[in-house]
Structure 1
Amino acid sequence: MAEPLGMLSAALAFAVVAASPGPANLAAASVAMAAGRTRGLRFALGLGLGLFFWGVLAAMGQGAVLRSTGWALTALKIAGAAYLLWLALQSLRAARRSGSTMVARAAPRRLFLAGLMLNLSNPKAVFAWMATLSLGLGGGSQNYVPLMLLCGLIGLVNYIGWVTFFSTGVMMRAYLRARRWIEAGTGFLLGAAGVSLLRSSASQ
């Protein structure tokens, strides 16, 4: 059985990585400020499911397959980069428009799918999962499941936390005052992440 200390260390390491600013967390904050808590939570659930998918993949050993199969990983990176660049373009277009944004008008189901696709388009997540699972294991592959479930829960709670904080009245009023700057900044960060992923695929 995995040592409790190893499990705790792995969970804490995963929590730090999950809470750090990145495309998923920044997108969750942007959706929460633009569309409110209810729609933001739908987006967070999609993000959580996408993150958990990579955890399941890592636990099944498919992460090693992706690493050893260059063309598959390259294809995933290109697809992920294309999706991030598309999201960046939508944010930049929203920054130029007046009135309510496309996110604020989007149906909850569409926001859930957007969150799911955002994290499914990030193949780097599988390597973070593999490192975390390896760190917390002391006795073999049968210990993947409890650690995977724990880290999946940590990831979901993290996204819910971002949405809850950024959907407060203060943050939503701040968003309305600085909407164009926030949309532009989000677009820039998502675009930079997409370009970085595209460059990574070219260096495979």
Structure 2
Amino acid sequence: MLDPFSLFMIGLSFFVVAVTPGPANISNAIIAMRRGRKVSLIYGAGLSFGLVFWGVIAASGMGAILQSSVYLLMLLKVFGGLYLLRLAYLSGKSAFNPQVEDINDPSNIPTAKKWFIRGFILNISNPKTVIAWLAALSVGLDAGDDIHALIAGVLVCVFVGFSVNAMYSLVFSFTGVMNIYQRISRWINGIASALFAVAGIGLIRSAFNRSPV
């Protein structure tokens, strides 16, 4: 079994990666500001389960296989890049056609299931997430550690992932933050669109690099 310090280091390493603003966190923050806390928490849960998916891949040893499988990794990266470009298009559309939405109007809000699936798809569409898992787990695990140590490390990362997504949902859904978003939504969506586009193009370009990572 891992000692508390090793678990802490695994959790800290994963926290640094998880809290860094990226496509998932940016999209969650915008949904929190635009749609409110409840929707964002559901979307964040989808993101978190997407992280769990890659955690299982990494812990089972499939992560190394995936990294060495050029064509499978290429396919996943292209899919992920296209999904990010779709987010760029939707954010850009919102930037050019800003609308003040009534978040209490059910007709404006897709079902909870759809929000969850959107978050889940976003995180499973980025195969580079498995690298973050492998890096975090390697901080506290040694070659001689048993399956119980591996499970403990994965559970710590899962807890950190859920906590970070919930934190984004809570922080960006405060009334004051939402009011600011309504005033400058055009700029926020425009910047988000550019970031999604850069990330999507970068992921697609990396799919055709010789390096598997």
- Report the CA distance between 1:99 and its aligned residue: 2.0
Mapped pair 1:128 → 2:164? no
8 Å CA contact 1:39–1:108 kept in 2: the answer is: yes
Partner of 1:117: 121
Mapping of residues 154-165 of structure 1, within 5 Å: 154-165=160-171
How many residue pairs match? The answer is: 204
Note the C-alpha offset of 1:6: 2.1
> Identity rate of aligned residues, in percent?
38
Q: Which runs of 5+ in 1 are unaligned?
A: none
Alignment counterpart, residue 200 of structure 1, candidates 195, 200, 206: 206
SS in 2 for 1:178: helix
- 8 Å contact 2:37–2:169 — kept in the other structure? yes
Does structure 2 conserve the Cα–Cα contact (< 8 Å) formed by 1:83 and 1:118? yes
- How far 1:4 moved relative to its partner? 2.9
1:150 positional shift: 1.0
Q: How much has 1:107 moved relative to structure 2? A: 2.6
Counterpart residue identity of residue 64, structure 1: A
* Distance of 1:101 and 1:61 partners within structure 2: 45
On the 8 A contact 1:94/1:183 being kept in 2, the answer is yes
Matched, 1:171 2:173: no
TM-score, normalised to structure 1, is: 0.95
Determine the C-alpha separation between the residues in 1 that align with 2:125 and 2:195: 16
Residues 92-146 of structure 1 deviation map (CA, whole Å, 9 limit, x = unaligned): 0111113246996333221111100100111000011011112111332412111
- The residue correspondences of 1:1-204 to structure 2 (distance < 5 A) are 1-100=1-100, 105-138=109-142, 139-142=144-147, 143-204=149-210
5-14 or 31-40, which moves further after superposition? Answer: 5-14
Measured in 1, the distance between the counterparts of 2:56 and 2:177 equals 34
Q: What TM-score, normalized by structure 2, do the two folds share?
A: 0.91
The unaligned stretches of length 5 or more in structure 2 are: none
CA RMSD after TM alignment: 1.6
Question: Which is helix-richer, 1 or 2?
Answer: 1
